[in-house]
Each structure stands twice: as structure tokens, then as C-alpha cells.
Amino acid sequence: MTTGKHGNKVVASVAEALGPLRDGMTILVGGFGLSGNAEALIRGVVERGVRDLTLVSNNAGNLGKGLATWLKAGIIRKVICSYIGNNQDLHTRMASGEVEVEITPQGTLVERMRAAGAGIPAFFTPTGVGTVVEQGKETREIDGRRYLLERALSGDVALVRAAVCDHFGNVRFWRTARNFNPVMATAAKLSIVECDKLVANGTIDPDDVHLPGIFVHRIVHVPEHENAFEYRTVRKR
């Protein structure tokens, strides 16, 4: 009997989890800015030494942290993102031409990956009609409204940050750290989960699973995270 791809998923180290990475791959990385980042896997990719990557992520890091470390390491050829904001590491490399940047509306970005994971090759959306986003795309009027055709977006690898994961790969996320993570897991050939807490199968109630293990292929347990703040806003007690 050969082992199916849903056999033993838990690996001992970040390096082992990232073993299949190769130069030129498209990597989907969850997170909204620095929130919900698979921090150890992101560090591990730089250490792994792969280059010429296409990165798909909402922001490509910020404040020199998270995915900005990939930019600084010079391992990215192209970024597909929705927002740059104050990410100086991306601004400078976009201006110099070192990194190609494709800016996509946020809802379109996530829907392109949702479509890829769900076996839908393209979809019509009203977002971006009459703007630069429409350029080069097929448009169609449906029931009196104009839409543009967006293509599905898949990846070779997805890096997912989970709060809790069982040995089959069923995942629970924490608060707004969920963001792009579960959708990216559905859209990649190899989905790697970095979890704060690894639990036995049956610990997570089936009704409480946010991402079913069918979308997860490798699991690495990383108990400690920095969880960096981007804008720490508080009120006085």
C-alpha cells in the first residue's frame, strides 16, 4: 500500500516543511499586513535559499517585517498584492524595477484564489469596471450591468498561519488573523500550516473547523510568535 497525501502531515521542522520549495515558484502567503503571518515559515523561506519567487499576498509585509524580509533578501521577482501603503521595501524595489508589482482590488484578489480552489477558471465581477483594472480584460453586460472577467489565481505553495490545528489538518483561526489564510490553502498544490497549538484529532469539534484538513498537506507546530503590531491604538482606562 502506498501512502496517500493525507497520511502523516506533521513534520518536525520548518526546514522539512519547506523542502519542496523551488526557484521560480508562486507562493501564496496569508496575512493582512503583519496580522496572521506564518512567521516561522516566512523566515524559513529566506533560509531555504530559493529565489525568483512570485509572491501573492495582500501587502507584502510592512515596517521591514514579515514578507518585507523577502524583499530585502532579493528573492522575489513579482508581487501580486492589493495594497502597498507605507511598505518602503516594496516602494523602492517597485520604483527601481527590481520587483514587478501587480496591484489587484482586494476582493478580486481573494476571489481569484477562491475560484482557483473551487475549480472555477474565471468569473465576472463589477469591481474595477471603468478603471485601469479593466485594461486588457474581457467585459460583458449581464442584466444591464457591466462586468469584467477575472482569471483564477493558483499557487504552488500556500503558507498558512493557524491558531489550532489537529493532525489531519483541520484548522481554527484566531480573530482577524484568518483573513486570506483559509482561501489560500484551497488554491495551492501544497498547503503548509504553521500552528500555535497542535492537538489530537477529535479535539476540535467538527462544527468548529474553519478550514477542513482536505486543504492542508503539511503541518509544523510553532508555539512562539512575535505577532507584531502595525498600529497599536488604545484608549485609557
Partner 1 sequence: MTATTSGWSTEDMARRAAREIPAGCIVNLGIGLPTQVADYLPEGHAWLHSENGLLGTGPFPYEGDEDPNLINAGKQTVTVLPGGSTFDSAFSFAMIRGGHVDMAILGAMQVSCGGDLANWAVPGGKVMGIGGAMDLASGARRVIAMMQHTTKKGELKLVQRCDYPLTALRVVSLVITELGVFEPTGHAFRVIDLAPGVTRERAEAATGAPLT
Residues at the site binding partner 1, with contacts judged by CB under 8 A: 32-36, 58, 62, 81-85, 91, 94, 103-108, 110-111, 113-114, 125-133, 173-183, 210, 227-237
Do 219 and 165 form a contact (C-beta atoms < 8 A)?
Answer: yes
Nearer of residues 36 and 44 to partner 1, judged by Cβ: 36
List Cβ neighbours of 23 (8 Å cut-off, separation of 6 or more). Answer: 50, 51, 52, 53
CB of 85 to partner 1, least distance (A): 6
C-beta closer to partner 1: residue 50 or 228: 228
**Residue 23 C-beta: closest distance to partner 1, Å:** 27
Amino acid of residue 211: L
CA dist 126 and 119 (Å) reads 21
- Non-local (6+) Cβ contacts of 26 within 8 A are 53, 54, 56, 154, 155, 156, 157
CB of 196 to partner 1, least distance (A): 10
Residue whose CB is less far from partner 1, 21 or 68: 68
Q: Which is nearer to partner 1, 5 or 235 (CB)?
A: 235
Q: Which is closer to partner 1, CB of 22 or CB of 145?
A: 145
Minimum separation from the CB atom of position 7 to partner 1 (A) = 27
Q: Please, are residues 168 and 6 in contact by the beta-carbon 8 Å criterion? A: yes
Q: How many residues does the chain have?
A: 237
- Min dist. Cβ of residue 191 to partner 1 (A): 14
**C-alpha separations of 111 from 12, 46, 76, 122, 196 in Å:** 33, 28, 23, 10, 27
